[in-house]
Amino acid sequence: MQRIPESELSRYLERTPHWTREGIEITRTFTFRNFREAMGFVVQVALLAERADHHPDIEVRYKQVTLRLSTHSAGGLTEKDFELAQQIDQIA
């Protein structure tokens, strides 16, 4: 999978407005009512990631979950990252 050219990234970011670009990653932090809900969300993300064969970095801090997406093999952001971000937004 090829990395998205810098000149096209803003168009992709418009499709995922809750995600923020940080270098070669896009990130988003989700806040839930409690730890149980946060972990339930993590399990749902894990199932999506397995189906897509594309795995985010996941950080859990009590009721907050931060996800980071990047395609390491491409050295940056690809369509795969934005597709998974959109799927995650649908379950959030």
- Model confidence, pTM: 0.94
- Tokens representing 68 are 């980071």
Q: What are the tens digits of pLDDT across the range 8-63?
A: 999 999 999 999 999 999 999 999 999 999 999 999 999 999 999 999 999 999 99
Spell out the domains of the chain, with CATH numbers in brackets.
Answer: 6-91 (3.30.1360.20)
- Cα–Cα distance measured from residue 39 to residue 91, given in angstroms and rounded to the nearest whole number: 13
Strands (E), the chain: 20-22, 25-31, 57-61, 64-69
